[in-house]
Structure 1
């Protein structure tokens, strides 16, 4: 990612050239020396290895503090008011490290695992799983596909869920909400939802035994039922009932991004998100 302050750094080569251009007995000797000293000073501050290590060390500590603050909140479900206040302070502290830097789509590309959120539409899923014995929510991801794009791409919100005894634990099925996004400013992306899909249904051993008992010859019909359940996909386009057009979600502010952490804020009070980089998902 290009750093916000990169344009203000004087290359070391320029500093050396300024020194060589100093001529004896020149009337501009004093001003030339002053300029070359300033250039050398800025370079030494910008590229000093020790200085870079200290900055990265401090940043990693801030990120660690943030992840520690969200650790016992069940991804935000049981966060108290005091915890949310501490988390918000930790968020702001991390966000300040690359504030104003443009979105790097190459860094953004990939799969990110949700660690914490205050977004109501996500918390309602987590609350349903906590209250209902027949519903489980596993890992939640955001997958960005934008590596080869110039100003946008596709974002997929992925929720692993299950129904105990019918589907496999935690990853019984996958809900995918897909949207296109466009970069509309330095850090804001505009989302346009495309479709909702249910896929990757993994039925439990109990259900398989019920459909096709192991002690009995498996009939053609039972095998067809098993195959249908395993390959079932349901896709529903997301449209605005009033206009019949694709639904627009609004702005999503990417407040911090590096190789292993993504922080986002839904513009308009939709909540905050803390993601860490995860293994690639095949959807």
Structure 2
């Protein structure tokens, strides 16, 4: 049932609320937040990607100028609990605003090879950061705060709570993401 892309509708989780509050800064705009579950076979384990779309007004495209993705492995520890093992955070999918592209490579002047190389580098840029992992020999019991309780899930809605931090999440099923 978890397999697919879910859009965040509501949360009380402090880590996510701090991202949303950053949108109050004049130089940052936070867009939609998603969770994408890719289940292996029987859905007891797989990969979950937490995707935050964001922008810097005037520099990046308005609604989804860049993407922050935090990837974790997940596995079921009981019928209603999944454990997360965070793997990597990445910033990428950068889409520059028309105005900023015009500064780098003005349309009225001939675009040089260097201008185009700079634009291509920025568009293809991805920064990846490994996240703390458990020891390979450790038990399958995750550290506190990495358990997720599934209160309700069907084909359209997913309600859960992070155990340890106590944040509640409400998601609705959505179309697959174009890129992240």
> Structure 2 length as normaliser, TM-score?
0.91
**Residue in 1 that maps onto 2:146:** 250
> SS of the residue aligned with 2:95?
coil
Choose from 107, 115, 126 the match for 1:233. Answer: 126
For residues 44 and 37 of structure 2, the distance between their equivalents in structure 1, rounded to whole angstroms, comes to 13
Following superposition, the deviation at residue 167 of structure 1 comes to 0.2
Q: What is the aligned partner in structure 1 of residue 5 from structure 2?
A: 111
Q: Secondary structure at the match of 1:277?
A: strand
The equivalent of 1:270 in structure 2 is 166
Relative contact order (alpha carbons < 8 A, sep ≥ 6): 1 or 2 greater? 2
Residue 269 of structure 1: how far off its partner (Å): 3.9
- Quote the offset at 1:239 in angstroms: 1.6
Counterpart of 1:198 (choices 80, 91, 115) is: 91
Aligned to 2:115: 222
Higher Rg: 1
Secondary structure in 1 matching 2:146 = strand
Q: What is residue 104 of structure 1 aligned with on the other side? A: none
Q: Which moved more, 1:168-177 or 1:146-155?
A: 146-155
Q: Which residue of 2 aligns with 1:156?
A: 49
Partner in structure 2 of residue 166 of structure 1: 59
- CA distance in 2 between counterparts of 1:192 and 1:222 reads 41
More strand as a share of residues:
2
CA distance in 2, matches of 1:178, 1:155: 6
Q: 1:178 to 1:169 in 2, by over 3 A?
A: same
Q: Secondary structure at the match of 2:109?
A: coil
The equivalences for 1:31-180 within 5 A come to: 107-130=1-24, 132-146=25-39, 148-180=41-73
Structure 1: 5+ residue stretches without partners: 1-106
- Deviation, 1:203, is 0.4
Deviation at 1:133, TM superposition (A): 0.4
Shift of 1:151: 2.1
Provide the TM-score with structure 1 as the length reference: 0.58
Q: What residue ranges of structure 2 are gaps of 5+ in the alignment?
A: none
Contact 2:2 2:43 in 1 (8 A): no
| Runs of 4+, deviation exceeding 4 Å | none
**Which residue pairs with 1:49 in the alignment?**
none
